[in-house]
Structure 1
């Protein structure tokens, strides 16, 4: 993985902590809107992490495959990104 590994792990651990907090909120019968706000905050961080990972993938893996690899490698990497874009647009 070419993305900033330490930064990515720190953000993922933050989300893990938020999820533990959300579970506790549900167990404690906390107010639904408060739970929803925490869920949305976790989703936001995950989207941010995904954007950073995908950007890194484009900057390193796809770039290298297109410029240094075979045509087949470049096409495969581009097709992978196209699949991710389709998933994100759903």
Structure 2
């Protein structure tokens, strides 16, 4: 596993723990703003993980496709993902 994927995995595992904590906060009827702040923190980790995965994809899959003069599909995939990210 390369460095980007490993960092993404760590961020995802951390966000999983945060989400479990958020569920417990809601069950314990904790203050809504505190819950919301934790949700924002989990979203940031998910965004970080996504960017790390995309970085790995560009540096490996897209780079290989460019070398093989077959990059159009990979570029279209990246554009599609980026459009989803930007629509949020």
TM-score by length of 2: 0.89
1:1-90 residue pairs with structure 2 within 5 A?
2=2, 4-67=4-67, 69-71=68-70, 74-90=71-87
CA RMSD of aligned residues (A): 1.5
Tell me the distance in 1 between the aligned counterparts of 2:65 and 2:2.
14
TM-score by length of 1: 0.87
Unaligned runs of 5+ in 1: none
The structure with higher relative contact order (CA 8 Å, sep 6+) is 2
Structure 1 segments, 4+ long, off by >4 Å, are none
Tell me the distance in 2 between the aligned counterparts of 1:21 and 1:89.
28
Tell me the distance in 2 between the aligned counterparts of 1:46 and 1:79.
22
Unaligned runs of 5+ in 2: none
Q: Could you say if the C-alpha distance between residues 77 and 2 of structure 1 is closer, same or farther in structure 2, counting changes exceeding 3 Å?
A: farther
Aligned length: 87
